[in-house]
Structure 1
Amino acid sequence: MTIWLLIGLVLFLGFKFWEREREASRFQLAGGVVVLTRAPDGHFHWPGRVGNIEVDFLVDTGATSTALPQALAERAGLQPLGPVRVHTAGGAMDGFVARADVGLEGGVSARRLTVTVLPNLQAPLLGMDVLGRLHFSQKPGELRITPAE
């Protein structure tokens, strides 16, 4: 029984190590250029922070503004500035706008960024309000991002 438990533990730890390495390899910083590799879900993810909360932003070039799930906004202590109604591929949604300090791995940041907060959003979306300040190019499976001049 002990041998089977040890084998199971080794397999579990090996899988966790492989999973962590795979996640880490999706983000690379090379000479001031951020390189994001497409994740298994088909999207590009950029690790960052909202205030002091670590988040995994979904890079969304189709989003006008950065959007956060309401639960995340509440954990970060964001205060509503006013209501907003947005139209998404899934239909119209009501939420509110707030200001947030957003930091991204690789040194990209936006202080007091106006963000849209939506109650039913599944993941934080990094929109063109931040991405539009950067230069980016895409090739199969890879997104390269450099700061704007």
Structure 2
Amino acid sequence: MESSQWLSVAALHKRQAAQLHALLAHARCHCRYYRERLPESAATPWREIPFPTRRDVQTHFDTLLVEAVPAAHGKTFDINTGDSIGEPVTVRRTQLTQLFWEAATLRDHLWHRRNLSGTMAIVRHFDCPVETSRPGR
């Protein structure tokens, strides 16, 4: 991420297009929700991808899950978002998506020049006991 952030706009667009192509091909093949909704074109631009709403994610969770996760993405685990109106959203992550989330969070800390030698506390509520030996649980 450190080296790619300094690429030219054209180089970033080329990499993004390749990743988008692979993502859409996987979604068309392995996700019931997107199999019915994605345009057939391999060159689908972002603006033509039907992003699910919060309600869609809540009501179509099972069909939004892919039928096959690439082995290189590691194990999966579910997380729940908080919601002020009491309707949380559950999403499934992989060890790889968790790694990217952690890298992006670290990048944010570095960009904002936060003091990383300090202590950070995060307050969260879990409805069930937390299994501390497993990340994301």
Q: Which has the higher helix share?
A: 2
Structure with a larger share of its residues in strand = 1
TM-score by length of 1: 0.25
